[in-house]
Amino acid sequence: MSTERDKKGDILLEMKDIRVEGFSDERWHKIIKGIDLTLHRGQVMGLIGESGAGKSTLGLASMGFTKPGCKITSGSIFFDGQDLIKANDEEKRMLWGTKIAYVAQSAAASFNPAHRLLDQTVEASLNRNLQTKSVAEADARNLYEQLQLPDPNNIGDRYPHQVSGGQLQRMMTAMAMSPRPELIIFDEPTTALDVTTQVEVLVAMRNIVEKFNTAALYITHDLAVVAQMADVIKVLRYGHEVEEAKTREMLVSPKEDYTKSLWSVRSLEKPESPSDDFVISINNVDAAYLGGSKVLHNVNIDIPRGRTVAVVGESGSGKSTTARVITGLLQPITGSVYFNGEALPPALKDRSKEQLRRVQMIYQSADTAMNPRQTISEIVGRPLEFYHSLYGTQKQERILELLEMIELDESFYDRFPGELSGGQKQRVCIARALAADPEVIICDEVTSALDQIVQEGILQLLLRLQQEFNITYLFITHDIAVVQAISDEIVVMYQGAVVEQGLKSKIMSPPYPDYTKLLLKSVPEMDPNWLTNLVDKRD
């Protein structure tokens, strides 16, 4: 398919040596540092990179647009032969919404709450008098149907807050498609969605782009997703291009080290080892938030000592709530949590210092998990004072020891969190947990905010610490690759209940309960045929 398509058309978009700067902290920072981009008609290019790579900025620049506070400082942009750098606002406005359309990450925020969806879908077409109102609306309903939106004839009469996130994202694709643009910029369109919803949206978007032979820039940080969507992939890092290749070529033989490192985490896999020595047992727990309905239904989970139990599920499945019950932040309505066979007091305030010490927690976002006004030594030192009454040189030595364990040197001792990178911050959070000498560490999505290469470093560190100190991990995640890399056992949760618990090898192979199957099947794989095969199997 892809070989066919990239021969398809002549050049639609050509960007040469684009440089974009953004203004913050009283000075201009370089965001895009000289990138060339050529896109043919009907071609889909994936722009992939980690946070700060400049992929969104580049995507918007292709429309001749920059966010407030940014500017294009040099380079040329030709769209369909027209120079977008020289074009004035009015000329660019004539292209936007008709020849070039944009699909944003947050559909919920990008629809105007005051207007009906249908009116917003056809707005760009009517604005340019491309079609009459009735024709445009009939076409929009047709698009809704093709995008597999429910009740396509009437859904347009609803308001944005009346439909779900996944539907809204498809609605935005319909809105972009309505004037039949030649280029659509998809800016992380599925990042905010759950995996099972993501599949539906991906299928819908791919089909419609293919059907109308629309060219597209598909911006994402997820390699597996881009493998399904793009004919060509361009890898960006720190505002530079790393490499560009056809999707299949790049997946098979990436040239650059950096590109190879993006693949590597997927190959990490911990051999599982069973155990019946349970350190924590959650027995028949029901829980609800204040004034809300039940969010946990009869949850039973056993966590074996020195092993890793991964809890997987989508948002709203109750995996984080389960962690809150274990830590005592949320008191269960019924049921209890046993630690080494003893029931823990349900409320945090009733637990002894010793009980608190044994269970530590690491958070998803290391940015918000550390007080920005405390130095690393204060952050790591506080549990030493608090639990172990270490002060002075003893405390100092122990902090340095802990820093060494997490592979950071003494130069970090009196830095502030703001001076560390994302991965370094997460390491300090691990050191803070280790400082307590815990038996169990709850890891809540600890790698999902990190770039691939950093993820692997963190996962390897966690595995090493487990071997050295026989620590037990409860690992909450939605990322199946991470589950493969670190777990011994897996717990699958859905809508507040445990679907199944068992050894990794058992859960990850058939026969599956329905939900586990749906969940596992929905996780995009690196194989560019994955989405096609998935759709074929369904039909």
Partner 1 sequence: MHPILITIIQRLLLGLLTLFFVSIIIFSSIEFLPGDFTQAILGQAATEETVAAFRRELGLDQPAYIRYFDWIGAVLQGDFGSSFSGRNSSGVDRSRAVIDLVAPRLGNTLFLAGMAAIVSIPLSLILGITAALYRNSIYDRSVNALTLTTISFPEFFLAYLLILFFSSLWPVFPSLANVNIDTSLGERIYKCVLPALTLTLVIVAHMMRMTRAALINLLASPYIEMSQLKGISKAKVILRHALPNAWAPIATVIAFNLAYLVVGVVVVEVVFVYPGIGQLMVDSVTTRDIPVVQACVLIFATTYILLNLTADIIGIVTNPRLLHPK
Partner 2 sequence: MKNHPIGYSAVAEVNRMRERRSQWQIVKLELSKAPYSAWFGIIVILAYFFVALFAPLLAPHGEAEIFTSSFAPWGGEHVFGTDQIGRDIFSRLIYGARNTIGIALATTLVSFAIGGSLGLVAAISGGWTDQILSRLVDVLMAIPGLIFALMLLTIFGSSILSLILIIAVLDSTRVFRLTRSVAISVVVMDYVEAAKLRGEKLAWIMRREILPNIMPPLIAEFGLRFSFVFLTIAALSFLGLGIQPPTADWGSMVRDNASMIQFAKYDLTAALTPMLPAGAIALLTVAVNFVVDWFLDKTSGIKDEH
- Of 114, 293, 373, 509, which lies in the binding site for partner 2, with binding defined by CB under 8 A? 373
Nearest to partner 2 of 329, 333 (CB atom) = 329
Looking at 142, 154, 315, 368, which residue binds partner 2 (CB under 8 A)? 368
Interaction residues for partner 2, span 313-332 (CB under 8 A): 327-329
Q: Of 34 and 457, which has the nearer Cβ to partner 2?
A: 457
Among 39, 45, 48, 57, binds partner 2 (CB under 8 A): 57
For residues 101-123, one letter each, b for 16 or more C-beta atoms within 10 angstroms of the residue's C-beta and e for the rest, the string is: bbbbbbbbebbeeeeebbbbbbb
**Residue 397, class by beta-carbon neighbours within 10 Å (0-12 exposed, 13-18 middle, 19+ buried)?**
exposed
Query: Of 60, 64, 82, 66, which is closest to residue 11 (Cα–Cα)?
Result: 82
Give the footprint of partner 2 on residues 462-501 (CB under 8 A): 463-464
Separation between Cα atoms, residue 340 and residue 280, nearest integer Å:
6
217 binds partner 1 (CB under 8 A): no
The yes or no reply on residue 127 touching partner 1 (CB under 8 A) is: yes
Name residues contacting partner 2, limited to 21-50 (CB under 8 A).
22-26, 29, 31
Rounded to 5 degrees, φ, ψ at 511 are -80, 140
What is the closest distance, in whole angstroms, from the C-beta atom of residue 439 to partner 1 in the complex?
45
Give the one residue of 15, 176, 184, 361 binding partner 2; rule: CB under 8 A.
361
- Is 303:472 a contact under the CB 8 Å cutoff? yes
Burial of 280 (0-12, 13-18, 19+ CB in 10 A): buried
Cα(332)–Cα(284) distance, integer angstroms: 10
Instruction: Tell me: does residue 80 bind partner 1 (CB under 8 A).
Output: no
- CB-wise, 154 or 162, nearer to partner 1? 162
* Residues 230-269, interacting with partner 2 (CB under 8 A): 238, 257, 260-261, 264, 267-268
The binder of 332, among partner 1, partner 2, none, by C-beta within 5 to 8 A per type, is: none
What is the total residue count of the chain? 539
Which C-beta is closer to partner 1: that of 64 or that of 254?
A: 64
Residue that is written with structure tokens 């307590």 in the block: 436
Work out which of 22, 54, 97, 528 binds partner 1, going by CB under 8 A. Answer: 97
Min. distance of Cβ 56 from partner 1 in angstroms? 12
x/- track of binding to partner 2 for residues 69-108 (CB under 8 A): xx--------------------------------------
Q: Which of 292, 384, 296 is nearest to 335 (CA)?
A: 296
Beta strand 70-79 pairing with 294-304: unpaired
Give the contacts of 61 (CB within 8 A, at least 6 positions apart).
15, 18, 20, 32, 72, 77
Asked if 204 and 170 count as a contact pair (C-beta separation under 8 A), the reply is: yes
Q: How far is the CB of 482 from partner 1 (least distance, A)?
A: 30
Residue number, 137 or 241, with CB nearest to partner 2: 241
Query: Which residues inside 399-418 make contact with partner 2, applying CB under 8 A?
Result: 406-409, 418
Q: Which of residues 113 and 372 has its CB atom nearest to partner 2 in the complex?
A: 372
Residue 257 CB, nearest distance to partner 2 (Å)?
Answer: 5
Q: What distance in Å separates the CA atoms of residue 248 and residue 326, rounded to the nearest whole number?
A: 45
Instruction: Give, as one character, the DSSP assignment of residue 150.
Output: S
Token pair of 139 as six digits: 């076409």
Helix axes 376-388, 392-405, angle to 10 degrees: 120
Interface with partner 1, residue 133, by CB under 8 A: no
User: Considering the rule CB under 8 A, would residue 104 count as an interface residue with partner 1?
Assistant: yes
- Residue 66, exposed/middle/buried by CB under 10 A (0-12, 13-18, 19+)? middle
Instruction: State the residues that interact with partner 2 by CB under 8 A.
Output: 22-26, 29, 31, 51-54, 56-57, 67, 69-70, 238, 257, 260-261, 264, 267-268, 327-329, 348, 351, 353, 356, 360-361, 363, 365, 368-374, 382-383, 386-387, 406-409, 418-424, 427, 432, 436, 453-454, 456-457, 460-461, 463-464
Q: Footprint of partner 1 on this chain (CB under 8 A)?
A: 63, 65, 67, 93-98, 101-102, 104, 106, 109-115, 123-124, 127-128, 158-159, 161-162, 175
